[in-house]
Structure 1
Amino acid sequence: MSQVVSIADKRREKKWDFERKMLRKIDIRKMEKNIQEWIKPIMPFHLQAYPFLIDQCMDVVIDAFLLGTEYGKYGFKGEPLHQSKGRCFDVLAHLSHDLAATLSGWGNKGIEESTVIATDMLIGSWWEKGFNESYKAHKMRLV
């Protein structure tokens, strides 16, 4: 007898497999260096005093990367990058502002505009890397 499997379970399993494949493309050292390049000019001493802030940044950056990989299929179908990015603008803004609030919480000041801009740029660059990796995978039919 065959077993009954729901479509939702199959979709979830397929999504997890895809995410695992895409996560293999991330270089952790490169990500950490990129985070330091964007955040260290704004908070020069906080990353040394509170090294766990880098881990929190990495979590958010990985989420942005995976979000970009989800939208890479639209790029393969011919949609421009900026239009695909517009589809998930709210989610990217939410990730960026949450990270800015977290980083500002460890400083003695409120949320500054420079922190928001830096986190926007960091999240946006990793979203684009995820988008491009997914686009390549779809183009080479690895997915």
Structure 2
Amino acid sequence: MAEVLSFMDVKRQKDFELEKNLLKELSLRQIIQSVKDCLEPLFPFLHDERDIITEGCIDFAIEAYLLGGRFGIFGYYGESMQSISARSAREEEELRMEFFDYLYNWIHEQYATFDKNTVYEAARKFIKDWWTAGFVQREKQCKLRMR
């Protein structure tokens, strides 16, 4: 007799395989360098990779990368990046606001004198860059038939 499978189990397995394939191409050194480049002006005291702020930023970078990767298949089928970005805008905005809250909660008066707009723009750029990297990587995998 055949085994009855839940569609949720199949979807979860496909998502797991997709994330595994995307994360194979991701370098931790690349993420750490991106964190330093993008966020060092906000946090001049950020010098050590093992710092808790950096670890949180790495988590957000991976989430944005995977989010972009989930939508990369549509680029393979010919849809423009702008329309795909508009389609994923809600999830991207949620991630961006969570990242903004995370960063803004770490800012103290003695470390930074930036207003909320500066922190928001840094968070927006960081999330968008990693979303784009995931999107491009997935599109490349699809073109190479490495789905």
Distance 1:71 1:59 in 2: 19
Distance 1:59 1:85 in 2: 21
Structure 1 stretch displaced more, 49-58 or 22-31: 49-58
For structure 1, list consecutive stretches of 5 or more residues without a partner in the other structure: none
Residue number among 130, 133, 136 corresponding to 1:129 in the alignment: 133
Match of 2:145 in 1: 141
Offset of residue 76 of structure 1: 0.7
RMSD between aligned residues = 1.7
Offset of residue 48 of structure 1: 3.7
Q: 1:60 to 1:111 in 2, by over 3 A?
A: farther
Identity %: 26
Offset of residue 90 of structure 1: 1.9
- Tell me the TM-score normalised to structure 1 length: 0.92
Equivalent AA in structure 1 for residue 58 of structure 2: M
Equivalent AA in structure 1 for residue 5 of structure 2: V
Distance 2:22 2:120 in 1: 27
**Which deviations, in whole Å up to 9, do the C-alpha atoms of 1:7-27 show, x marking residues without a partner?**
221121011011101011111
Match of 2:52 in 1: 52
* Alignment: residue pair count: 142
Q: Superposition pairs for residues 113-128 of structure 1, below 5 Å?
A: 113-128=117-132
Structure 1 stretch displaced more, 48-57 or 68-77: 48-57
- Tell me the TM-score normalised to structure 2 length: 0.89
For structure 2, list consecutive stretches of 5 or more residues without a partner in the other structure: none
